Amino acid sequence: MNCEFQSLYFGDDGYVVRCKQCGHYQIAFMCIAITFAESDYQAFCRIVRCKCCEADYSFAEHSKCVIIKTPAEGINFLLTKNEAKRFAEILDEADTEIKALSLISLFNPKK
């Protein structure tokens, strides 16, 4: 099956898209692009938000000390605290777009 992606966020720092057919999400941030099933995507977003709330134990502002695990074995995001905050903002913007599209679909039922 070929995916038909719907953009939820697109910027210089990455993107979040969702397939209209299968519901999979693809996230690109920094140098990583990864695809998630919907349930894994939702869990991943919660993890990113939690990581942003944790104490910052880095010794320097640019230390990559935030590890965000993904459902894929051995694939993790390694970010600075500021990068993790920006990543969470991107995911929040995508979530806002998902909610807006959901509301719009209520007024445009499929024929």
State the Cα–Cα distance between residues 95 and 24, nearest whole angstrom. 14
Counting the structural domains of the chain, the total is 1
Residue 109 confidence (pLDDT) above 80: no
Instruction: Dump pLDDT digits (tens) for 5-20.
Output: 999 999 999 999 999 8
Q: In degrees rounded to 5, what are phi and psi of residue 79?
A: -130, 160
What sign does the dihedral 103-53-88-93 (CA atoms) show? Answer: positive
Q: For the chain, how many residues are written?
A: 111
Sign of CA dihedral 52, 70, 99, 93: positive
More confident: 57 or 83: 83
At residue 111, does pLDDT exceed 60?
no
Nearest of 22, 16, 28 to residue 98 by alpha carbon: 16
Q: Which domain holds residue 63?
A: 5-107
For 19-76, the pLDDT digits (tens) are 988 999 999 998 899 999 999 999 999 999 998 888 777 778 788 989 999 988 898 9
3-state secondary structure of 36: strand
What φ, ψ does residue 62 adopt, rounded to 5°? -100, 15
Is residue 107 over pLDDT 90? no
